Amino acid sequence: MEAEICAANYFVFPFLRQLHGKGQGRGQSKELDTRLPEAETDATSSDRWPLAVTYADLWGPMVNSSAVSQSHARWSLGMGRAGSVSAERARPILLGHSLQVGPATITERGRDAVEGFNVFKGLTGKNDELRSEKVETGKDEDSVAVRRRKEIEREIERASVLRKRFDIHIAGQNVPAPLESFEELISRYGCDSYLVGNLSKLGFHEPTPIQRQAIPILLSGRECFACAPTGSGKTLAFLFPLLMKIKPGSKGGVKAVILCPTRELAAQTVRECKKLAKGRKYYIKLMTKDLSKSGNFKDMHCDILVSTPLRLDHAVKKRDLDLSSVEYLVLDESDKLFELGFVEVIDSVVEACSNPSIIRSLFSATLPDSIEALARTIMHDAIRIIVGRKNSASSLIKQKLIFAGTERGKLLALRQSFQESLNPPVLIFVQSKERAKELYKELAFDDVRADVIHADLNEQQRQDAVDNLRAGKTWVLIATEVIARGMDFKGVNCVINYDFPESAAAYIHRIGRSGRAGRSGEAITFFTEEDKPFLRNIANVLVSSGCEVPSWIMALPKLKRKKHRVDRDPISTIPDED
Ligand SMILES: Nc1ncnc2c1ncn2[C@@H]1O[C@H](COP(=O)(O)OP(=O)(O)OP(=O)(O)O)[C@@H](O)[C@H]1O
Q: Are 516 and 498 spatial neighbours (Cβ–Cβ below 8 Å)?
A: no
Phi and psi at 316, nearest 5°, equal: -70, -45
Kindly give the distance from the C-alpha atom of residue 363 to the centroid of ligand 1, in angstroms, as a whole number. Answer: 13
Q: Do 170 and 47 meet the contact criterion of CB atoms below 8 Å apart?
A: yes
ipTM at complex level: 0.99
Q: Which residues pair with 27 in a beta bridge?
A: none
User: How far, in Å, CA of 60 to CA of 526, rounded?
Assistant: 59
Of 506, 347, 510, 359, the closest CA to residue 427 belongs to 510
Indicate if ligand 1 lies below 6 Å from the C-beta of 268: no
Distance CA 502, CA 538 (A): 10
Whole-number Å distance, alpha carbon 238 to ligand 1 midpoint, is 11
Ligand 1: does its nearest atom lie under 6 Å from the Cβ of 564?
Answer: no
3-class secondary-structure state, position 170: strand
Phi-psi region of 518 (alpha: psi -120 to 50; beta: other; left: phi over 0): left
Q: Is 516 in the pocket of ligand 1 (CB under 6 A)?
A: yes
Do 304 and 242 contact (CB within 8 A), yes or no? yes
| Ligand 1 midpoint to CA 515 (Å) | 11
- Calculate how far, in angstroms, residue 140's C-alpha sits from the geometric centre of ligand 1: 51
| CB-ligand 1 contact for 261 (6 Å cutoff) | no
CA distance 15 to 286: 25
Question: What does residue 570 show for φ and ψ, rounded to 5 degrees?
Answer: -60, 155
pTM: 0.77
Nearest in space to 128 (alpha carbons), one of 96, 150, 99: 96
State the Cα–Cα distance between residues 130 and 43, nearest whole angstrom. 36
Q: Measured between alpha carbons, how far is 25 from 553 in angstroms, rounded to an integer?
A: 43
**What is the chain's alpha carbon radius of gyration, rounded to the nearest angstrom?**
26
Distance 236 CA to ligand 1 centre (A): 7
Residue type, 352: A
Regions of the chain where pLDDT drops below 70:
1-141, 340, 559-564, 574-578
Question: Domains (ranges, CATH) in the chain?
Answer: 1-117 (no CATH), 166-387 (3.40.50.300), 397-554 (3.40.50.300)
Cβ atoms < 10 Å from Cβ of 445: 9
Burial code (b: 16+ CB inside 10 Å, e: under 16) for 549-563 equals beeebeeeeeeeeee
Ligand 1 pocket check for 465: Cβ under 6 Å? no
Sign of CA dihedral 316, 321, 325, 329: negative
Assess contact for 535 and 526: CB atoms under 8 A: no
Task: Determine the longest span between alpha carbons in the chain, in angstroms.
Answer: 100
For residue 391, how many other CB atoms are within 10 A of its CB? 28
Count of beta carbons in the 10 Å neighbourhood of residue 446: 14
Q: Which one-letter amino acid corresponds to residue 144?
A: V
From CA 269, how far away is CA 259, in angstroms rounded? 10
Q: Do residues 333 and 265 touch, judged by C-beta distance below 8 A?
A: yes
Nearest to 331 by CA among 187, 462, 485, 126: 485
Residue 473: CB atoms within 10 A of its CB come to 11
Tell me whether the omega of the peptide bond preceding residue 425 falls within 30 degrees of 0, making it cis: yes
How far is 271 from 405, CA to CA, in rounded Å? 42
H or E stretch covering 256: strand 256-259
What pLDDT was estimated at residue 511?
97
Measured between alpha carbons, how far is 514 from 521 in angstroms, rounded to an integer? Answer: 5
Ligand 1 pocket check for 35: Cβ under 6 Å: no
What CA–CA distance (Å, rounded) separates 307 from 495?
27
Give dist(CA 181, CA 187) in Å, integer: 10
**Helix-helix angle 263-276:459-470, to 10 degrees:** 60
DSSP, res 204: -
How is the beta sheet containing 328-332 ordered, strand by strand?
A: 168-171, 383-387, 224-227, 359-364, 328-332, 256-259, 304-307, 284-286
Q: How far is the CA of 543 from the centre of ligand 1 (A)?
A: 24
Q: Is 358 exposed, middle or buried (0-12, 13-18, 19+ CB in 10 A)?
A: buried
- What is the best residue among 211, 232, 264, 271 to mutate for testing ligand 1's pocket, by most ligand atoms within 8 Å of CB? 232
Tell me which residue of 233, 500, 260, 547 sits closest to 393, measured CA to CA. 547
Of 306, 487, 420, 397, nearest to 479 by C-alpha is: 487
Which of 262, 212, 206, 201 has its CA nearest to residue 234? 212
Q: Which residues contact 488 (CB under 8 A, 6 or more apart)?
A: 231, 235, 268, 516
pLDDT at 574: 64
Cα distances (angstroms) measured from residue 207 to each of 124, 199, 203, 246, 428: 31, 10, 11, 21, 31
Residue 275 has a pLDDT of: 97
Q: Give the alpha-carbon dihedral of 433, 394, 339, 379, to 10 degrees.
A: 150
Q: Is 414 helix (H, G, I), strand (E, B) or coil?
A: helix
**Does residue 334 sit in helix, strand or coil?**
helix
- Ligand 1 centroid to 237 CA: how many Å? 9
Q: Is 208 in the pocket of ligand 1 (CB under 6 A)?
A: yes
Distance CA 206, CA 180 (A): 9
3-state secondary structure of 348: helix
Burial class (CB in 10 A: 0-12, 13-18, 19+), 494: buried
DSSP string, 285-344: EE--HHHHHH--GGG---SEEEE-HHHHHHHHHHS----TT--EEEEETHHHHTSTTTHH
Task: List the one residue out of 103, 114, 19 whose CA is nearest residue 55.
Answer: 103
- Is 236 close to ligand 1, i.e. is its CB under 6 Å away? yes
